[in-house]
Amino acid sequence: MYTQINKNTIKLFYSLFLVAAFSVIQSCSTKQEQILTEKQPYNIPDSLLKTLTIDSVQRGELINSITLTGQVDFNQDKQVNIYSLVSGNVQDVKVQLGDYVKQGETLAMVKSGEMAGYGNNLIIAQTNITSTKKQLDANKALYKSGIASILDVTSAQTNYDQALAQLDMIKKVLKINGNNADGNYIVKAPISGFIVQKFANNNMTIRTDNSNPLFTISDLNNVWVWANVYESNLNKVHLGDSVGITTLSYPDQVFGGKIDKILHVLDPASKVTKVRIVINNKDYALRPQMFASVTVTNTQHDQAMYVPLNALVFDNSQYYVLVYHGHNKASITPVQKLSALGNKIYIKDGVQIGDKVIASNTLEIYDQLNN
């Protein structure tokens, strides 16, 4: 019986030994797996590091900018609609749409009965002047001889003065209508510029109450650009703000100007406010109706940190920069974006002036650091 108990005891101890040994082996295996699966820090490979652009966080004057959509328009202060002051038949149209004309240049002629009437009135007035002057001189001579009274002289003087006034009025009417007494109204350019609208054609009958002008002339040496500002951006634009304008036709050319007018009403359809920029257009590059991209900038006279545009990463509604610590090591640092101006991104928080930041291959390195 003793022998049987001893055997059972040996079996029990042997079983416990096997369980303990298995637990130790399993524990070692788990630790080895943890070591293998533990996240390893990412070091930038030397081959990649050689190609990277490393910049630094700098400090400068904070400049806000906002980009708006806009359209080139005529300068309404330098545009003239030309109407005929008399009714008649259009003759001898000398210009076409798009032509450049100089001030005083003849554009067309209107054959007009009204103008013929003015010419006839001029002849009558001149004849009246001659007859009333003769009558005045005769009455003065008779008065000196005692034959005529002073009342006769006064009456003749009155008639002569009225004839002079009538002639003066007719000459002024003719001057307004081109000083032409042969029945033709000459249409001339009041300013130099381009013919941007033309409704006059040969043999067309016109009346003084026509709604359309014969011609429209616009001086395109400078033009207006109207930009659209949504309500949320109204506090970011001000009179006098500097503006840079680009167009689809000239994407690499920036036309400079300043905001000189802000309308105080919202467009009921688009819900935008219009701001106006006057642009020098001496080479006539800008044409009315062109679409424009309008970048408005203004200085707040505050200092702020900034980094290059390529140094910024946007992920999950947060901006980040990759701070380079040397020895192939970098870290992800969240920052707050204040504004952008060209290649400069103004930021705050997370970094200090002088910190090194990676400004190329940022997305690739960002993804590796997040793995």
Give the residue with greater pLDDT, 279 vs 371: 279
Phi/psi at 144 (5° precision): -65, -30
Instruction: Give Cβ neighbours of residue 150 (< 8 Å, ≥ 6 apart).
Output: 143
Establish if 18 belongs to a structural domain.
no
138 and 277 housed in the same domain: no
- Is pLDDT at 297 greater than 80 in this prediction? yes
The closest alpha carbon to 305, from 325, 316, 326, 319, belongs to 319
Q: Are residues 148 and 279 in the same domain?
A: no
Q: What is the mean pLDDT of the chain?
A: 85
Element housing 158 (H / E): helix 150-176
Q: 148 and 260 share a domain?
A: no
Pick the last residue of a domain from 196, 218, 240.
218
Digit-coded pLDDT (tens) for 24-53: 455 555 454 544 445 567 889 999 999 999
Q: 215 near 195, Cβ under 8 Å?
A: yes
Same domain (yes/no): 176, 190: no
Pairwise CA distance, residues 358 & 55, whole Å: 6
pLDDT in tens, 320-354: 999 999 999 999 999 999 888 878 899 999 999 99
Q: How far apart are CA 312 and CA 357, in angstroms?
A: 9
Structural domain contains residue 145: yes
**Domain region containing 163:** 113-181
* 206 has a pLDDT exceeding 90: no
Statement to judge: residues 337 and 253 lie in one domain: yes
* pLDDT, position 52: 93
Cα angle 17, 22, 26; round to 5: 150
Asked if pLDDT for residue 171 goes beyond 90, the answer is no
Per residue in 219-245, pLDDT tens? Answer: 999 999 999 999 989 988 999 999 999
Question: What CATH number is attached to the domain comprising 143?
Answer: 1.10.287
**Domain match, 100 and 151 both:** no
Question: Which residue, 218, 238, 266, sits at the end of a domain?
Answer: 218
Confidence of residue 85 (pLDDT cuts 50, 70, 90): confident
At residue 51, the pLDDT reads 92
Q: Looking at the structure, do residues 357 and 228 belong to the same domain, yes or no?
A: yes
* DSSP secondary structure letters along 314-344: EETTEEEEEEEEETTEEEEEEEEEEEEETTE
CATH for 187:
2.40.50.100
Q: How far is CA 174 from CA 88, 118, 182, 184, in A?
A: 16, 7, 11, 11
**Residue 167 vs residue 335, higher pLDDT:** 335
Domain count along the chain:
3
